[in-house]
Amino acid sequence: MKFLHLLSTEASHSVTLRCLKNPHHGTTLDKNPIGSAPNSLDRIKFRGWNKQLFEKDTLLDPHVISNEQEILHGRWLQTQFLFSTQDSRQLPIVDILDFPTSNTNSQQEIENGPVCFL
């Protein structure tokens, strides 16, 4: 990995979170019912290779490509994230923090997509 980091000037990485019967990421707070929790998409954090945190409203804000999680029904839904940086040492993503807890009878998956070093 160190060799790739030394030869690269930028990198990108995609991560997909999937859920069944338990959306990870709700809609924005103003669309949620009164008394519901804030959007869990705002709380989730990703740790990069060099321990740097990617989180909402920071310089390392993960880009959300698609978010189906605001639909509540019994099929698999997903949220896709894309991480791009000009510091290749920050990728790949190695840990997900503040991952929402599951409800009973729900299932969750994480798909770690390809990392591209340029």
Dist CA 2 CA 33 (whole Å):
47
pLDDT tens digits, residue range 13-59?
999 998 876 555 444 433 433 333 445 667 889 999 999 999 988 88
Q: Residue 6: what pLDDT?
A: 93
pLDDT value for 69: 65
Domains in the chain, ordered, with CATH?
4-24+36-117 (2.60.120.1000)
Interval 107-117: pLDDT, tens: 888 999 999 99
Q: How many CB atoms lie within 10 A of CB 40?
A: 16
75-108 pLDDT per residue, tens: 788 889 999 999 999 999 999 998 766 666 778 8
Full-model pTM: 0.77
